[in-house]
Amino acid sequence: MIYKVITKSEFRKFVSGLIRENQTIGPKLVDSDREGNPIYQFKEVNSFDEMDLDYTQADYSIKNFYLPFREELSRFDYSNSDWEQNIEYHVHPRVIVGVRACDINALTKLDKIFMKGNFPSPHYIARRKNTFLIGMDHEPLDDCFCKSLNQDVVRHGFNLYCTDIGKSYYLTINSSKAFNFLRNVKTSDPGKEDDRKYIERRKYLKKKFRTHVEVTGLPALMDIEFQSDVWKKWGDKCLNCGSCAMVCPTCYCHGVEENIEVNLKRSRKERVQYSCSIVDFAEVAGGHNFRPLKEDRLKYRFYHHYRGFAENADEQICVGCNRCGRACLAGINPRDVINDLRMESEE
Amino acid sequence: MKTDKVYKCEIINMIELTPMEKLFHLRILDPAERDLFSFRAGQFVMVEVPGFGEVPISLSSSPNNREFMELCIRKAGQTTNMLHKARIGSRVGIRGPFGTAFPMEQMVGHNLLLIAGGLGLAPLRAPIYWVTDHRSDYRDVHILYGTKEPWQMLFTYQYEEWERINHIRMLTIVEKGDENWKGNTGMITELFNDITIDPANTYAIVCGPPVMFKFVCNHMDNLGIPMNHMFVSLERRMHCGMGKCCRCMVGSTFTCVDGPVFDYWSVMNLKEAI
């Protein structure tokens, strides 16, 4: 890891240069909600001014740029009662600017699933390798609890990370590509004053967290409370709409669909994002459903996030962004469910 | 065979076992790919009907048969319906083999209980073939097989061969008999009354509908068979076979990569598994 300091005006020039040369994605103000709060989304940008780097949080994480809602896995071409399968994955180099720490941490969790093990996904790897990721710190929202999960600090998974220290950014350089890009830009080595400001900024951000979720021993608690009435209480509210999974930066459950073209000469095999809370997720051919009840499915989602992944990868898959809580039409959020489980175990 | 690549196969034979189940003989077209393909008893393949979908199907043939593979497929959904409409010479795809296998080497020198319910006899055929190919490695071998009704019995043409040639004791039972049925009626656990086993030296393999596992394994547990001597093959929905789609996830376990074969000790401690 190499540290540099860049003035905000020089950073602007640097990013503008990247925008000119590459497809660039950044946080954009797209609308406002009923209460007048701004709605931000990661969208393609053509100039630095289109981005709002002081955005609070994008409704959707950048997951969708790595795991699109629908993507072609392969294509079958038919001719003379035979078929050929084609697998293609082309990704042009691209840049994503202004990604928050929790979203970068979410990507490193997805890396464990899609880039490692016996069956890495070439589609995901192509997208990950061809994306230059610039992260940026931010003040937490009132309901963020990424600090509780130790996800407010980022160590891997980005090329460049900017910490706001007033008129400059304190840069953490995490790849040779980022180092080479910065050769043509005016940066300086951090001085004592910059270091002090950086540490102050880190302390300031830590103090700004208002929501805390106690996750100590959560995997064991999930086991102990497997039969708890808490699941029924929240399961009864759940609409099984899958909104939580769509906005979650780490939910990766999916289905594989095949669609044949109208001319019957070609078909596509596609990966489609899905959610474990949707009713037919665990239904097998013949109609038997391994999770027929709403509470089973809600429990399973929590179980996967706070217990299952923890056992396989030694970490919880949730990054504490609380997008699911904000998107839930039934008002279910992880903080309340976990607190309920804790109270249940303490009674 | 570790990517999305689908290997092209030809259907070289089809046997109608019941109105619902057919046995397919598939042969990988490319000789080089055919040489590379090998599997262990208990593993499965994803069978692809291009344009319609993929289904996970347990391999039902002898692991020693390198010429073709046998798959017993029940007509249960869109893709399997299409497969039932296929003809000899039709081409389908496969990916795999995936998943864990029955530890046949570990069972050498012991008695075996092979227990199946309904379609569960299909995945059990691979270990049966393994045992018949290595018969002298195993002591007493029993197959306990139960279905709801007599017409649902699969592979009836092989029972005599297993008993007479391979010296495997085959016991069958149905929940509800018909006018021609002269055999046992009742639940599969009742077949245990007809056999004598040495629990400490017995290994068991159980394949069948989810509801069966608990009863059968509990029964064997009461008989004194160690839990890590009982192996079950779990069924779940699968879309990828590679531990990615999470359709088959049970707790922290993927049925496709950590299973489908589990020992009962692991499954018993796995929430939601059975």
The pLDDT tens digits of the residues spanning B57-98 come to 999 999 999 899 999 999 988 899 999 999 999 999 999 899
Per-residue pLDDT, A346? 65
Confidence of residue A324 (pLDDT cuts 50, 70, 90): very high
Per-residue pLDDT, A62? 93
A292: helix, strand or coil: coil
Average pLDDT over residues A183-207: 92
Q: Which among A78, A85, A121 is the nearest to B6, CB-wise? A: A85
Contact between B50 and A285 using a beta-carbon 8 Å cutoff: no
- CB of A129 within 8 A of CB of A92? no
Judge whether residue A157 has pLDDT over 80: yes
**Burial class of residue A179, CB neighbours in 10 A (0-12, 13-18, 19+):** middle
| CA A97 to chain centroid | 14
Contacts of A259 in chain B (CB under 8 A): 51
Average pLDDT over residues A51-64: 89
Q: Give the model confidence (pLDDT) of B129-155 as tens digits.
A: 999 999 999 999 999 999 999 999 999
Q: In this prediction, what percent of chain B has a pLDDT beyond 90?
A: 72
Judge whether residue A303 has pLDDT over 90: no
Per-residue pLDDT, B2? 52
Disruptive mutation site among A284, A295, A302, A311 for chain B (greatest number of B CBs within 10 Å): A284
Q: In this prediction, what percent of chain B has a pLDDT beyond 70?
A: 99
Contact between A269 and B4 using a beta-carbon 8 Å cutoff: yes
Contact between B51 and A267 using a beta-carbon 8 Å cutoff: yes
Average pLDDT over residues A58-78: 93
Tell me, yes or no, if A66 comes closer than 8 A to chain B by beta carbon: no
Give the C-alpha separation, B98 to B1, whole Å. Answer: 9
Q: Which among B5, B52, B77 is the nearest to A258, CB-wise? A: B52
Q: Give the model confidence (pLDDT) of A69-120 as tens digits.
A: 999 999 999 988 789 999 988 889 999 999 999 999 999 999 998 998 888 9
Average pLDDT over residues B22-34: 94
Please give the radius of gyration of chain A, using alpha carbons only, rounded to the nearest integer: 22
Confidence of residue A310 (pLDDT cuts 50, 70, 90): low
For chain A, the average pLDDT equals 90
Per-residue pLDDT, B232? 93
Q: Give the model confidence (pLDDT) of A217-274 as tens digits.
A: 888 888 888 888 999 999 999 999 999 999 999 999 999 999 999 988 999 999 999 9
Per-residue pLDDT, A114? 92
Most confident segment among A212-226, B12-26, B254-268:
B12-26
β-bridge pairing B111-117 and B202-207? parallel
Tokens coding A266: 């070609």
Contact between A282 and B247 using a beta-carbon 8 Å cutoff: yes
Average pLDDT over residues B40-44: 95
A129: helix, strand or coil: helix
Judge whether residue B1 has pLDDT over 50: no
Q: Which stretches of B12-156 are DSSP H helices?
A: 31-36, 78-85, 121-133
Per-residue pLDDT, A150? 86
Confidence of residue A313 (pLDDT cuts 50, 70, 90): low
Per-residue pLDDT, A347? 58
Q: Which among A118, A223, A253 is the nearest to B245, CB-wise? A: A253
Give the C-alpha separation, B262 to B267, whole Å. Answer: 6
* pTM attached to this predicted model: 0.91
Contact between B50 and A78 using a beta-carbon 8 Å cutoff: yes
Average pLDDT over residues A312-327: 85
